[in-house]
Amino acid sequence: MLTMIFDNKSLLEMEGTVEIVFFDLETNVPNKAGQRFWVLEFGAIVVCPQNLVELESYCTLIRPRDLSVVALKSGRCDGITREAVANAPLFEEIADKIFSILDGRVWAGHNIQRFDCTRIKEAFAEIGRPAPVPVGIIDSLGVLTEKFGRRAGNMKMATLAAYFGLGQQKHRSLDDVRMNLEVLKQCATVLFLESSLPNVLSGKWQGSRTVTTRSRSVLDSSLSSVSNDKWNGSPTITTRGRSNGKLPCREETSRKSPPASLAYHRAVPYARGSLGKMTERVTNLLCKAQSKPLNNLLKHSHSLLR
C-alpha cells in the first residue's frame, strides 16, 4: 500500500515552505444500489511541517442538491442532519475556497487515499472544474498500520483516539482532523521512545552511550571515567578532572579480561593506603626467593592475598 507519495518537484518544494493540510470529509451513507456519495461537510487545518503548528483552519457544511439523501435524524451524537445542511452553501459556492486550501500542498488524513481524495475529485468533476492537485499524500491509516501495528486494536481513528485517551471521535470534519494530528503525534512519540530506549523499555538495559538512567548516573559519579583508547590487557581508571591544578593520575588497574560493559567494573581490590604495604611484602618475598627453589616461592605466595 502506497501511503506517502511525492514526485521530484514536490521534494524540492518541500525544502521550502510547502505546508501540510489535514482534511476530512463527512458524507451521506448510500443505502440504495447505485446511490452516490454527497459531501456534507469539509474541514481542514494547514500546519507547518517543521513544527506542526496550525497556520489556518476552515470548515463548512455543504448542502447536496438532493436533500433527501441526508437523514432527518443522525444515528451519531453530533451527526449531520437534514436540517443542519438545509441552509448550507452548495459545493460550487465554496469550491474556490476548498481549491485554494488543497491545491499545491501535501494532503494528509486518515484513509484519504481510498475515500476522501476520490470524493473531492467527484465533487469538482460534477461542477465541471479541475480538481486541486496535491504535491504529496500522507495517509495515516497506511503509515500507522505499517509503523505502529495493531497494538491499539483495529486502525480506526476512534480506536486509536481511545487508546491514547484523546476522547471520543465526533465524526465532524474539523474535530476529526485535529484528532488525527494528535494521534500521529502520540504514535510518533511512542515509536521514538521505542527506537531510542529499546532495552530500557523491555527491561534489558546493558548500558548505552546515549542514554543515561539513574543507575548509570550513580555509576559515573562513583567510578570516574574509564579510558579504553588502547587496550593492552588492563584498562586504566583515571580521575575525571584536574585536582589542585594537577593532571589526572592513574589510580589502579583492573583484571586482565576486559569487562562486558561499563556497569561490570569491579571495585579496586586494595585501598590506596594498603598498596604500599602490598608492594613491600612482594619485594621482601622476592628477595627471600633468590636463594630458594621456585616451588618454595609458590608455597609462600598465597600469603600475599591474605
Q: Are 105 and 46 in contact (CB under 8 A)?
A: yes
- Which of 110, 171, 265, 302 is labelled catalytic? 171
Helices (H), the chain: 8-14, 82-85, 91-102, 117-126, 140-147, 157-163, 173-196, 198-201, 214-223, 272-289, 294-300
Closest C-alpha among 43, 48, 41, 68 to residue 58:
43
Active site residue 171: yes
Closest C-alpha among 267, 251, 271 to residue 259:
267
Q: Are 285 and 301 in contact (CB under 8 A)?
A: yes
252 - beta bridge partners?
Answer: 237
27 - beta bridge partners?
Answer: 39
Q: Are 196 and 177 in contact (CB under 8 A)?
A: no
Q: Which residues are catalytic?
A: 171
